[in-house]
Amino acid sequence: MEPLEPRLLLAFTDATSAVFGTSSIAPTFFDYDNDGWQDAAGWTNHWRLWRNDEGVYSDEGPLSDGLQNGQIFAGDIDNDGWTDLLVGHQGYITVLRNDEGSGSFQKVTHVPPDNGIIGGGGSVGDFNNDGFLDFYRGGYVSNNSQLIVSVPDATQPGGRGFDLAWQGDGRYVRSVTSADYDEDGDLDVYTAAYFLQNNGLFQNQRNGQPFPFINVGLNESGHSVGAQWGDLDNDGDLDIFLGNFAHPGNPEPRVFRNEGPGGGYAMTDIGQRGIYFRESWASPALGDYDNDGNLDLWYGAFGPPSYSSSDTSALFRNTPNTSGPNFSDVTGVQGLGGLYNQAYDSWVDFDNDGDLDLVAGAKLFRNTLSNSNSWLKVDLGGDANTIGAIVKVTAGSTTRTRQVESGYGEAKFAPLIIHFGLGSHTGPVDVEITWLDGTTRSFQTAVNQTIDGGGGPDPDPTPTALPYVENFDDGVADSFEAVAAAWSVNGANRYHAAPEAGQDAISLVDLLDPLPSAVSMQATVRGLSVGGLSKNGVLVFDYQGENDFKFAGAFFGQNQLKIGHYDGTSWVAQATATESIATGTDYSLQLLLDGGTATLLVDGVEKLGHSFTGSLLDGDLGLGTNAAEATFDDFVLVGTTTLPFSENFDDGRANFLQPV
């Protein structure tokens, strides 16, 4: 008998009571305190805040006094680096500003008045391209949708309020989902309507109008409950899964394939792709539960009391081919039978183990993944430039595409962090990130980790004391903080500076204590030859700010070693030495700082020095490049001493002596 493929032996186990201390909860997940763990807002007769303490949740109390039930979404409304909340109620919205991760949320009172609209699903994003998050809300039952936009208001927490920019449509829109599906730098919207009305794909025109969209098709009718964007066939473009409730003879669920730039981003109906008939199918949730690199589908169904008890929700595993995704039901094998649709069903890696857990049927199921497939998570934050950002990860010959999304389906919300399954690939992967403003960053990184990608607020570095040694072998640049350009630890466990053309790269060490009177800073540097960029790598010292710092290092394109300063306009060399140095080769740079004197050694040999006016040890230290890509390794920062040197050991310490 042939053994089952390992991924088919997976199972989900109910972890609700163990994790939340309650048997039933419908949470929305977001990281309110920026600690890298997905916290939650959960409804238990009122909205409560739950803090994630490394996989176990603690009840932090009510989110806000008198907050009624509704559909909750998350995003950084004021661009301060903290994730805020928007709640859609029947007729009105509530906006809650995060008070810097304290667990307190301030209510924004400048919002549109209650107009009786009963909202369907919603989506948060910068729809008018003004640099702040807006809210597109469907009008289910009341057949009026709304576009609510951010406006400046100095009287409000965070300095932002919200006005109604547009209301209309005339359709019973039950689902709103947005994406930059045509990759032109703005968010487009797909709306799914109920009562056999037409759906619609609305393309953003950036025309300055209150409603900046035009309908470009996908006007199929149906009892549509929910839809979601996702690269279902791993061709690098975002497709649509449309979830339809269907009485016999009504339109059933569909997949629309994005034909990409070569096909003018046209959307082609490719049918059901293995989804069988079930009358009360509801809203989808896409996620790669087995980390095989393919987006799978959790598909909710309404079930009783209105429909048959056999109308249960289902898990479909996706095994795509060149014609599109192929879904097969694995619900029973995975231990997820007997569940029915809940508005907040979603995927989340709540325990940070790299596989997606599932909220379904008002319960949290832990994914007890037993295969060895690789994964990568990308956390870009959730501001106006990030929601809608597209991330492409290439592993071997396959490129997978995901986006940061805030709101899809019928009132569903996925965590802002992006998850990739990578199958059996174990080597480094290539990452390309495109933000809505057109900024693009590309770099290589190791698998089985969470990276920030250089977008949004970087996690706080861990402060360190001297001596400080960092070899990056754990895949993390502990105590380093990137202050200019994108930095990441690549698959070779080297710290990689990857600026755009014309952009400098700086990453600084966060030190607990002031520097001693003399220090030694050392790192292995390798210059990279990248088209359109310079070729250099330096040690940064006396960093006072982005327009005032000093440097010492190797300029490969000029075969020169330099010590100098940056004056806000130019990198000014104050000492130079000609040296035969080449890109692609490792060089050990050591910089000795003693009072106002800087001395540079290469591979242990003193090469040049320069005396500056004043102390060099009042500012920060770190690594950098002048509009160049480079990698760094084996960083060592220690206190040294000046000569003559004496030590009587009376304090019980051997200051500045190191055993060799």
Calculate the alpha carbon distances from 423 to 294, 398, 400 in Å.
9, 11, 11
- 586 found inside a domain: yes
**Integer Cα distance of 437 and 453 in angstroms:** 15
In this structure, the strands spanning 620-625 and 536-545 are antiparallel
- Residue 448 tokens read as 């089985």
Check whether residue 44 and residue 121 sit in a common domain: yes
**Whether residues 447 and 488 fall in one domain:** no
d(CA 172, CA 574): 69
Q: Report the alpha-carbon distance of residue 106 to residue 345 in Å, rounded.
A: 27
The answer to whether 467 touches 637, Cβ cutoff 8 Å, is: yes
Residue in the block written with tokens 């949004």: 456
pLDDT value for 619: 92
User: Same domain, yes or no, for 442 and 477?
Assistant: no
Does a structural domain hold residue 4? no
**For residue 643, which phi and psi values (nearest 5 degrees)?**
-100, 145
The answer to whether 523 and 541 have CB atoms below 8 angstroms apart is no
Q: Do the domain assignments include residue 658?
A: no
Q: Which of 94, 148, 139, 70 is nearest to 343 (CA)?
A: 70
**What is the Cα–Cα distance from 261 to 246, expressed in whole angstroms?**
33
Q: How many CB atoms lie within 10 A of CB 513?
A: 10
Q: Quick one: CA dihedral 464, 470, 473, 478, positive or negative?
A: positive
Residue with tokens 């309650």: 22
Q: How far apart are CA 579 and CA 591, in angstroms?
A: 17
What tens digit of pLDDT does each residue of 595-636 get? Answer: 899 999 999 999 999 999 999 998 999 999 999 999 999 999
Between strands 597-602 and 586-594, the pairing is antiparallel
Q: Distance of alpha carbon 656 from its chain centroid, rounded?
A: 43
315 & 398 share domain: no
Are 208 and 116 found together in one domain?
Answer: yes
**CATH value at residue 576:** 2.60.120.560
Structural domain contains residue 417: yes
C-alpha dihedral sign at 105, 110, 114, 119: negative
Q: How many CB atoms lie within 10 A of CB 268?
A: 13
User: Same domain for 368 and 396?
Assistant: no
Return the pLDDT at 3.
34
The C-alpha atoms of residue 417 and residue 413 are separated, in whole angstroms, by 12
183 and 291 within one domain: yes
In a domain, residue 657? The reply is: no
Is the preceding peptide bond at 461 cis, omega within 30 degrees of 0?
A: no
Residue 260 has what pLDDT?
Answer: 95
Q: Which of 315, 349, 379 marks a domain boundary?
A: 379
Query: What is the rounded distance in angstroms from the CA atom of residue 529 to the CA atom of residue 526?
Result: 10
450-462 confidence digits (pLDDT tens): 888 653 334 445 5
> Are both 117 and 264 inside the same structural domain?
yes
Q: According to the model, what pLDDT value does residue 648 have?
A: 66
Which of 161, 208, 213 has its CA nearest to residue 191? 213
**Three-class DSSP category at 18:** helix
Query: Within a domain: residue 646?
Result: no
Domain shared by 427 and 538, yes or no: no
Judge contact between 212 and 205, C-beta under 8 A. Answer: yes
Give the total number of structural domains in the chain: 3
Question: Model pTM?
Answer: 0.71
Q: What residues make up the domain containing 580?
A: 468-639
Q: Are residues 473 and 326 in the same domain?
A: no
Task: Report the 10 Å Cβ neighbour count for 651.
Answer: 8
Query: Which among 348, 346, 398, 399 is positioned nearest to 377, based on CA atoms?
Result: 348
The residue ranges of the chain whose pLDDT is under 50 are 1-8, 455-460, 642-645, 656, 660
Query: Do the domain assignments include residue 108?
Result: yes
Among 472, 360, 379, smallest CA distance to 420 is for 379
| Residues 176, 258 within the same domain | yes
Q: Does 35 map to a domain? A: yes
Q: What CATH number is associated with residue 155?
A: 2.130.10.10
Asked if residue 544 and residue 419 are part of one domain, the reply reads no
Please give the Cα distance from 491 to 333 (Å, whole number): 35
